[in-house]
Amino acid sequence: MVSVIDTDLLALQEMRTAVKTAKAAQQVYMKFSQEQVDAVVKAVAAAAFEQSARLGEMAVEETGMGVAEHKKIKNEVGSRDVYESIKDLKTVGIVGEDKENKVIEIAAPFGTIAGIIPTTNPTSTAFFKTLIALKTRNAIVVSPHPYAVNCTKEALRVCGEAAVAAGAPRGLVQCLTMSSMEATQELMKHPDINLILATGGGALVKAAYSSGKPAYGVGPGNVPVYIERTAKIEKAVENIVNSKSFDFGTICATEQAIVVDRNVSELVTRALKKNGAYILSDEEKKAMEKVISPVPGKVNPKIVGKSPQTIAKLAGISLPSDTRIIVGLETKVGKDVPFALEKLSPIFAMYIASDITHAKELCLSLLELGGMGHSLSLHTETDAVAREFAIEMPVSRILVNTMSSVGAVGGTTGLMPSMTLGCGTFGGNITSDNVTAKHLLNIKRMAYGIKEVNLNSSQVPADVRSESSEDVTDQVVESVLQSLGTSDKVDPQVVKDLVSEIVSKLSK
């Protein structure tokens, strides 16, 4: 017991020291020019990109999740693609000016950011969060997932050393190495933490939003993919299988359930088998359900990021060696339906929709189960159908005719490259954007006066105007007579008539 307490205390002390060090470095860094900042960010991105393959292998070895080659691609997106998307963004000094309206925008950093990193993307997310923090003159203190401490720490070491070599103050990039939930909780509440970037499970995101600090948290992504009757079936299925098998399904934007129009269901089934899908029999499906969710409503962590063969073995099912994904035919949606859950593995549910209306109902049910606000994938050659889904579905990203997993993070689409995908208020998030550097800036605005407000100072005060003209006249006459004193030369009626005329004119 003593050793556990000591470990927790050490973890808390490490966290406090990291925050203190990061804050001190940020105070220096916030004075850097745009050119100096850009040089630092460019150097960090280059160093991260160069180490993408090594760190991909390290992530798979430590976590036991995913595919090293695919981790490499994610690391490249998190470094090179993110850099290309933010390199021209102005983040220092005056960043915008509306000359016509005389409004000037000035960028200011948030300060010190807490970055929470998931086990599914432990190095690519670390690269991404570090780059957008440094681009905006912020420091970052990262809390890795307990199962991915070493690879995340190494990714941040690469970033930190590259930053220092490019002229940044030492200490801007910090990593907590002692896995402690208490330390992570206290990090998010630390008075010197100015923003939280949380990527992880629902409980963690909720904790971030409950910390009392500004936070960008992202929810789960139980992404449905609809294959509409006009879709190019062969290409659609190829994209879907490639997406689902990419890094064994560990990206939160990966498709989780196929909804297919009944008119093309047989074509889709043939195309799935051609692309390496294994369609479970009824008996095999029952065995797989117990592996997916031994406890109703909860996904078995042993299947996350694992190969189809590994998962099938847990269910006592033998698969061909070239199997890329597992498919179970399903009709129900609910927490007690394992195939309907977000599985983060190469396992699909497949539903048959009688028409577009039925397809929308199925997609909405899947999103309500655990993916509100995240993403929806769609394959169709009818633009009107795509727009209809985009308008009606409560999601922040609609991916059309592409790999949802890679498309949502900006790999195959024009969306902003990001490893933190907001779900909007649909999913209880503050933003529906792909979070990037612009979300880590305070924008101050200096505005010159360009309009005049006409306030007529000669008007009778409101409290006087509210009284009747006769009352006002009597008050003024009394005041005038008192000031003149008693005199036979002063006719009160003449004074009253004169005052009445003046009050009348002022009241108009």
Crossing angle of helices 181-189 and 2-29, rounded to 10°: 30
Question: Strand 255-261 relative to strand 223-227: parallel, antiparallel, unpaired?
Answer: parallel
CA atoms within a 13 Å half-sphere pointing along the CA-CB vector of 82: 35
The active-site residue, picked from 159, 175, 252, 363, is: 252
User: What per-residue confidence (pLDDT) applies to 504?
Assistant: 66
Give the strand order in the sheet containing 277-279: 277-279, 325-329, 347-353, 255-261, 223-227, 373-379, 395-400
Contact (CB, 8 A) for 19 and 192: yes
Task: Specify the 3-state DSSP secondary structure of 115.
Answer: strand
Q: CA-CA distance, 223 to 282, in Å (whole number)?
A: 24
Q: CA-CA distance, 126 to 123, in Å (whole number)?
A: 5
Residues in the chain: 508
Cβ count within 10 A of residue 467: 13
Contact (CB, 8 A) for 37 and 212: no
User: What per-residue confidence (pLDDT) applies to 417?
Assistant: 96
Specify the domain boundaries for CATH 3.40.309.10 within the chain.
223-425
Specify the domain boundaries for CATH 3.40.605.10 within the chain.
2-218+437-447
Give the strand order in the sheet containing 195-198: 173-175, 139-143, 112-116, 195-198, 215-217
| Residue 280 per-residue DSSP state | P
Residues in contact with 491: Cβ distance below 8 Å, sequence separation at least 6, in sequence order? none
Examine the residue annotation and report whether 252 is marked as an active-site residue of this protein: yes
Query: What is the reported pTM?
Result: 0.87
Q: Compute φ and ψ for 257, nearest 5 degrees.
A: -145, 135
Query: Encoding tokens for residue 82?
Result: 């993110």
Q: Compute φ and ψ for 458, nearest 5 degrees.
A: -85, -5
Q: CA-CA distance, 293 to 299, in Å (whole number)?
A: 5
Q: Compute φ and ψ for 200, nearest 5 degrees.
A: 170, -155
Cβ count within 10 A of residue 200: 20
- Give me the residue label for tokens 């449905």: 224
Q: Compute φ and ψ for 105, nearest 5 degrees.
A: -105, 135
Q: Compute φ and ψ for 137, nearest 5 degrees.
A: 65, 30
Q: CA-CA distance, 149 to 502, in Å (whole number)?
A: 84
DSSP per-residue letters across 334-393? STT-GGGS---SSEEEEEEESSHHHHHHHHHHHHHHHTTEEEEEEE-S-HHHHHHHHHHS
Query: Encoding tokens for residue 440?
Result: 């880590």
Query: Encoding tokens for residue 6?
Result: 């000591």
**223-425: CATH number:** 3.40.309.10
In this structure, whether the domain defined by 2-218+437-447 belongs to CATH 3.40.1380.20 is answered with no
- Give me the residue label for tokens 């993916």: 371
- Give me the residue label for tokens 């925008």: 105
* pLDDT values of the chain reduced to their tens digit, one per residue, 508 residues: 445 567 889 999 999 999 999 999 999 999 999 999 999 999 999 999 999 999 999 999 999 999 999 999 999 999 999 999 999 999 999 999 999 999 999 999 999 999 999 999 999 999 999 999 999 999 999 999 999 999 999 999 999 999 999 999 999 999 999 978 889 999 999 999 999 999 877 777 888 888 999 999 887 889 999 999 999 999 999 999 999 999 999 999 999 999 999 999 999 999 999 999 999 999 999 999 999 999 999 999 999 999 999 999 999 999 999 999 999 999 999 999 999 999 999 999 999 999 999 999 999 999 999 999 999 999 999 999 999 999 999 999 999 999 999 999 999 999 999 999 999 999 888 999 999 999 999 999 999 999 998 887 655 555 555 555 566 566 666 665 666 665 556 676 766 776 676 666 555 5
